[in-house]
Amino acid sequence: MPTLYIVATPIGNLEDISMRALRILGEVDFILCEDTRVTAKLLSHYSVKTPTISYHQHSSEKKQARILNLLKDGNSLALVSDAGTPGISDPGGKLVQAVIEKFNASVRVESVPGPSAVTAALSISGIPTDKYVFMGFPPHKKGRQTFIERITDSIYPVVVYESKHRIIKFLEELKDLNKKIIKKNQAIDDSVEVRHGASKKKKELKLQKRTPVTSVVVCRELSKMHETVYRGGLDHITEQIKNNQDDQKGEFVVIVGK
Ligand code: SAM
Protein backbone atom coordinates (compact mmCIF):
# COMPACT_ATOMS: atom_id res chain seq x y z
CA MET A 1 0.00 0.00 0.00
CA PRO A 2 1.43 3.45 -0.88
CA THR A 3 2.41 5.30 2.27
CA LEU A 4 3.08 8.88 3.27
CA TYR A 5 5.68 8.79 6.04
CA ILE A 6 5.96 11.85 8.30
CA VAL A 7 9.62 11.69 9.26
CA ALA A 8 11.21 13.63 12.14
CA THR A 9 14.76 14.85 11.49
CA PRO A 10 17.43 16.36 13.82
CA ILE A 11 16.92 19.82 15.36
CA GLY A 12 20.67 20.39 15.42
CA ASN A 13 22.85 17.36 16.02
CA LEU A 14 22.85 15.20 12.89
CA GLU A 15 23.19 12.04 15.01
CA ASP A 16 19.67 12.58 16.35
CA ILE A 17 17.92 10.56 13.68
CA SER A 18 16.45 7.10 14.11
CA MET A 19 17.63 4.05 12.20
CA ARG A 20 14.07 3.60 10.96
CA ALA A 21 13.98 7.19 9.67
CA LEU A 22 17.19 6.60 7.71
CA ARG A 23 15.90 3.31 6.31
CA ILE A 24 12.62 4.88 5.21
CA LEU A 25 14.32 7.92 3.67
CA GLY A 26 16.41 5.47 1.65
CA GLU A 27 13.47 3.26 0.62
CA VAL A 28 10.72 5.69 -0.41
CA ASP A 29 10.29 6.82 -4.03
CA PHE A 30 10.52 10.55 -3.22
CA ILE A 31 11.29 12.75 -0.22
CA LEU A 32 9.15 15.89 0.13
CA CYS A 33 11.32 18.61 1.70
CA GLU A 34 10.47 22.00 3.18
CA ASP A 35 13.77 23.15 1.66
CA THR A 36 15.61 20.69 -0.57
CA ARG A 37 18.98 22.42 0.08
CA VAL A 38 18.64 22.04 3.86
CA THR A 39 17.64 18.37 3.64
CA ALA A 40 20.40 17.71 1.08
CA LYS A 41 22.96 18.16 3.90
CA LEU A 42 21.31 15.46 6.01
CA LEU A 43 20.88 13.12 3.06
CA SER A 44 24.45 13.53 1.90
CA HIS A 45 25.75 12.97 5.46
CA TYR A 46 23.98 9.57 5.47
CA SER A 47 24.53 8.84 1.74
CA VAL A 48 20.79 8.72 1.02
CA LYS A 49 20.27 9.08 -2.73
CA THR A 50 16.44 9.28 -2.92
CA PRO A 51 15.18 12.08 -5.21
CA THR A 52 13.69 15.10 -3.43
CA ILE A 53 10.71 17.35 -4.20
CA SER A 54 10.14 20.73 -2.58
CA TYR A 55 6.97 21.04 -0.49
CA HIS A 56 6.41 23.95 1.89
CA GLN A 57 3.73 26.16 3.36
CA HIS A 58 3.49 28.26 0.20
CA SER A 59 3.26 25.29 -2.17
CA SER A 60 0.41 25.71 -4.63
CA GLU A 61 -2.74 23.58 -4.91
CA LYS A 62 -1.27 22.33 -8.22
CA LYS A 63 1.83 21.10 -6.40
CA GLN A 64 -0.29 19.37 -3.79
CA ALA A 65 -2.36 17.72 -6.53
CA ARG A 66 0.88 16.45 -8.12
CA ILE A 67 1.93 14.94 -4.81
CA LEU A 68 -1.47 13.29 -4.34
CA ASN A 69 -1.14 11.83 -7.85
CA LEU A 70 2.22 10.30 -6.95
CA LEU A 71 0.50 8.46 -4.08
CA LYS A 72 -2.40 7.47 -6.35
CA ASP A 73 0.13 5.97 -8.78
CA GLY A 74 1.47 3.75 -6.00
CA ASN A 75 4.54 5.73 -4.90
CA SER A 76 5.53 5.98 -1.26
CA LEU A 77 6.68 9.36 0.01
CA ALA A 78 8.49 10.72 3.06
CA LEU A 79 7.75 14.23 4.25
CA VAL A 80 10.49 16.09 6.16
CA SER A 81 10.81 19.66 7.37
CA ASP A 82 14.07 21.60 7.83
CA ALA A 83 14.34 20.34 11.41
CA GLY A 84 12.27 18.39 13.90
CA THR A 85 8.80 16.98 13.38
CA PRO A 86 6.81 18.05 10.30
CA GLY A 87 3.47 19.63 11.18
CA ILE A 88 4.73 21.10 14.47
CA SER A 89 4.93 24.81 13.55
CA ASP A 90 6.04 23.46 10.18
CA PRO A 91 4.41 22.42 6.90
CA GLY A 92 2.74 19.02 6.88
CA GLY A 93 -0.70 19.24 8.46
CA LYS A 94 -2.44 20.34 5.25
CA LEU A 95 -0.95 17.47 3.22
CA VAL A 96 -1.83 14.86 5.86
CA GLN A 97 -5.39 16.17 5.93
CA ALA A 98 -5.64 16.09 2.11
CA VAL A 99 -4.31 12.51 1.95
CA ILE A 100 -6.75 11.30 4.62
CA GLU A 101 -9.66 13.02 2.87
CA LYS A 102 -8.78 11.88 -0.65
CA PHE A 103 -7.67 8.31 -0.07
CA ASN A 104 -9.43 7.30 3.11
CA ALA A 105 -7.79 3.92 3.85
CA SER A 106 -6.13 3.24 0.50
CA VAL A 107 -3.01 5.27 1.37
CA ARG A 108 -1.38 4.89 4.77
CA VAL A 109 -0.13 7.87 6.74
CA GLU A 110 2.60 6.71 9.11
CA SER A 111 4.63 8.62 11.66
CA VAL A 112 8.35 8.13 12.04
CA PRO A 113 8.81 9.83 15.41
CA GLY A 114 11.90 11.65 16.51
CA PRO A 115 13.15 15.06 17.64
CA SER A 116 10.99 18.09 18.21
CA ALA A 117 12.20 21.27 19.91
CA VAL A 118 9.10 21.40 22.12
CA THR A 119 9.66 17.99 23.72
CA ALA A 120 13.44 18.44 23.90
CA ALA A 121 12.97 21.71 25.81
CA LEU A 122 10.31 20.31 28.13
CA SER A 123 12.45 17.29 28.95
CA ILE A 124 15.23 19.42 30.42
CA SER A 125 13.17 22.31 31.79
CA GLY A 126 12.87 21.15 35.39
CA ILE A 127 9.31 22.52 35.32
CA PRO A 128 6.56 19.95 36.06
CA THR A 129 5.38 19.09 32.56
CA ASP A 130 2.89 16.26 32.96
CA LYS A 131 0.49 18.86 31.51
CA TYR A 132 1.50 21.71 29.21
CA VAL A 133 0.15 23.99 26.51
CA PHE A 134 2.05 24.39 23.24
CA MET A 135 1.34 27.70 21.52
CA GLY A 136 3.96 27.73 18.73
CA PHE A 137 5.18 31.12 17.42
CA PRO A 138 3.67 34.38 18.70
CA PRO A 139 2.21 36.42 15.82
CA HIS A 140 4.56 39.22 14.73
CA LYS A 141 2.05 42.05 14.93
CA LYS A 142 -1.73 41.55 14.90
CA GLY A 143 -2.89 39.39 17.79
CA ARG A 144 0.46 39.45 19.58
CA GLN A 145 -0.88 41.11 22.73
CA THR A 146 -3.81 38.66 22.94
CA PHE A 147 -1.38 35.77 22.42
CA ILE A 148 0.70 36.93 25.38
CA GLU A 149 -2.41 37.41 27.52
CA ARG A 150 -3.41 33.80 26.73
CA ILE A 151 -0.01 32.64 28.01
CA THR A 152 -0.56 34.41 31.33
CA ASP A 153 -4.13 33.06 31.49
CA SER A 154 -2.98 29.44 31.23
CA ILE A 155 -2.97 27.37 34.41
CA TYR A 156 -0.40 25.03 32.82
CA PRO A 157 3.17 25.74 31.67
CA VAL A 158 3.18 27.21 28.17
CA VAL A 159 5.74 26.43 25.47
CA VAL A 160 6.47 29.04 22.81
CA TYR A 161 8.82 29.12 19.82
CA GLU A 162 10.49 32.48 19.22
CA SER A 163 13.11 33.72 16.77
CA LYS A 164 16.34 35.50 17.67
CA HIS A 165 14.90 38.72 16.19
CA ARG A 166 12.06 38.88 18.69
CA ILE A 167 13.24 36.94 21.77
CA ILE A 168 13.99 40.08 23.83
CA LYS A 169 10.78 41.77 22.66
CA PHE A 170 8.82 38.67 23.70
CA LEU A 171 10.39 38.46 27.16
CA GLU A 172 9.91 42.22 27.71
CA GLU A 173 6.25 42.06 26.67
CA LEU A 174 5.65 39.10 28.97
CA LYS A 175 7.41 40.95 31.78
CA ASP A 176 5.25 44.07 31.30
CA LEU A 177 2.04 42.08 31.34
CA ASN A 178 3.18 40.14 34.39
CA LYS A 179 3.87 43.38 36.26
CA LYS A 180 0.32 44.54 35.48
CA ILE A 181 -1.07 41.24 36.81
CA ILE A 182 0.92 41.54 40.05
CA LYS A 183 -0.21 45.17 40.47
CA LYS A 184 -3.85 44.31 39.82
CA ASN A 185 -3.71 41.36 42.24
CA GLN A 186 -2.31 43.70 44.88
CA ALA A 187 -5.14 46.19 44.24
CA ILE A 188 -7.68 43.37 44.63
CA ASP A 189 -6.05 42.24 47.90
CA ASP A 190 -6.12 45.80 49.19
CA SER A 191 -9.78 46.27 48.32
CA VAL A 192 -10.69 42.90 49.93
CA GLU A 193 -8.91 44.04 53.11
CA VAL A 194 -11.11 47.11 53.50
CA ARG A 195 -14.37 45.22 52.87
CA HIS A 196 -15.49 43.83 56.18
CA GLY A 197 -18.51 41.57 56.07
CA ALA A 198 -19.61 41.20 52.42
CA SER A 199 -17.92 37.81 51.95
CA LYS A 200 -19.66 36.98 48.63
CA LYS A 201 -18.29 40.16 47.08
CA LYS A 202 -14.84 39.38 48.51
CA LYS A 203 -14.95 35.95 46.85
CA GLU A 204 -15.89 37.49 43.52
CA LEU A 205 -13.03 39.94 43.77
CA LYS A 206 -10.55 37.18 44.59
CA LEU A 207 -11.69 35.25 41.53
CA GLN A 208 -10.56 38.16 39.36
CA LYS A 209 -6.96 37.51 40.42
CA ARG A 210 -4.68 35.91 37.82
CA THR A 211 -1.68 33.74 38.58
CA PRO A 212 1.49 35.63 37.68
CA VAL A 213 4.38 33.98 35.85
CA THR A 214 6.77 32.58 38.43
CA SER A 215 9.60 31.23 36.32
CA VAL A 216 10.78 30.82 32.76
CA VAL A 217 13.11 28.42 31.04
CA VAL A 218 14.71 29.64 27.82
CA CYS A 219 16.38 26.91 25.76
CA ARG A 220 18.77 28.12 23.07
CA GLU A 221 20.37 26.04 20.31
CA LEU A 222 19.26 22.66 21.67
CA SER A 223 21.55 19.78 20.69
CA LYS A 224 23.99 22.22 19.01
CA MET A 225 27.44 23.42 20.00
CA HIS A 226 26.16 26.52 21.80
CA GLU A 227 23.25 24.88 23.61
CA THR A 228 22.38 27.07 26.61
CA VAL A 229 19.54 26.80 29.10
CA TYR A 230 18.50 29.79 31.20
CA ARG A 231 16.32 29.02 34.21
CA GLY A 232 14.94 31.44 36.75
CA GLY A 233 12.71 34.46 37.34
CA LEU A 234 11.36 36.29 34.29
CA ASP A 235 13.05 39.62 35.11
CA HIS A 236 16.41 38.04 35.82
CA ILE A 237 16.45 35.88 32.67
CA THR A 238 15.36 38.79 30.47
CA GLU A 239 18.20 40.99 31.79
CA GLN A 240 20.73 38.17 31.41
CA ILE A 241 19.91 37.55 27.74
CA LYS A 242 19.58 41.28 27.03
CA ASN A 243 23.03 42.01 28.41
CA ASN A 244 24.87 39.52 26.25
CA GLN A 245 24.73 39.71 22.43
CA ASP A 246 25.90 36.09 22.09
CA ASP A 247 22.94 34.91 24.19
CA GLN A 248 20.59 36.40 21.58
CA LYS A 249 21.87 34.22 18.72
CA GLY A 250 20.32 31.01 17.43
CA GLU A 251 16.97 29.29 17.93
CA PHE A 252 14.84 29.55 21.05
CA VAL A 253 12.15 27.69 22.93
CA VAL A 254 10.62 29.47 25.91
CA ILE A 255 8.71 27.64 28.64
CA VAL A 256 6.63 29.90 30.83
CA GLY A 257 6.04 28.28 34.21
CA LYS A 258 3.15 28.80 36.62
N1 SAM B 1 9.00 21.29 13.51
C2 SAM B 1 10.00 21.78 14.43
C3 SAM B 1 9.93 20.96 15.71
O4 SAM B 1 9.40 19.86 15.70
O5 SAM B 1 10.45 21.41 16.71
C6 SAM B 1 9.85 23.26 14.69
C7 SAM B 1 9.98 24.10 13.46
S8 SAM B 1 9.79 25.80 13.72
C9 SAM B 1 9.72 26.40 12.08
C10 SAM B 1 11.41 26.31 14.18
C11 SAM B 1 11.46 26.80 15.62
O12 SAM B 1 11.61 25.70 16.50
C13 SAM B 1 12.66 27.70 15.91
O14 SAM B 1 12.40 29.05 15.58
C15 SAM B 1 12.80 27.53 17.40
O16 SAM B 1 11.85 28.29 18.09
C17 SAM B 1 12.47 26.04 17.55
N18 SAM B 1 13.70 25.24 17.41
C19 SAM B 1 14.05 24.42 16.40
N20 SAM B 1 15.24 23.86 16.61
C21 SAM B 1 15.68 24.35 17.79
C22 SAM B 1 16.86 24.16 18.55
N23 SAM B 1 17.84 23.36 18.14
N24 SAM B 1 16.97 24.82 19.72
C25 SAM B 1 15.98 25.63 20.16
N26 SAM B 1 14.85 25.85 19.47
C27 SAM B 1 14.70 25.22 18.31
Q: What are the domain boundaries of the chain?
A: 3-115, 118-257
Alpha-carbon distance values, 85 to 6, 63, 231 (Å): 8, 21, 25
CA distance 13 to 65: 34
Nearest ligand 1 atom to the CA of 162 is: 16
User: pLDDT band for position 237 (50/70/90)?
Assistant: very high
CA distance 253 to 141: 19
| Distance from the alpha carbon of residue 253 to the mean position of ligand 1, in angstroms | 7
User: pLDDT band for position 57 (50/70/90)?
Assistant: confident
> Is the pLDDT reported for residue 209 higher than 90?
no
User: pLDDT band for position 198 (50/70/90)?
Assistant: low
**Is 252 close to ligand 1, i.e. is its CB under 6 Å away?**
yes
Tell me the angle at which helices 93-103 and 61-72 cross, rounded to the nearest 10 degrees. 50
CA distance 219 to 11: 13
Specify whether domain 118-257 bears CATH 3.30.950.10.
yes
CA distance 29 to 237: 47
Alpha-carbon distance values, 125 to 19, 121, 158 (Å): 27, 6, 12
Give CA 253 to chain center in angstroms.
Answer: 7
* Closest Cα to atom 11 of ligand 1: 161
**What are the helix (H) ranges across 73-154?**
93-103, 117-125, 144-153
Ligand 1 mutation target, pool 34, 220, 247, 251, most atoms within 8 A of CB: 251
Burial (CB count <10 Å: 0-12, 13-18, 19+), residue 183:
exposed
Q: What is the pTM of this model?
A: 0.93
Give the model confidence (pLDDT) of 14-44 as tens digits: 999 999 999 999 999 999 999 999 999 999 9
Nearest ligand 1 atom to the CA of 224 is: 23
Residues β-bridged to residue 232: 216
Residue 129 vs residue 26, higher pLDDT:
26
| Distance from the alpha carbon of residue 83 to the mean position of ligand 1, in angstroms | 7
CATH H-level, domain 3-115: superfamily: Tetrapyrrole methylase, N-terminal domain (3.40.1010.10)
Mean pLDDT for 225-238 is 96
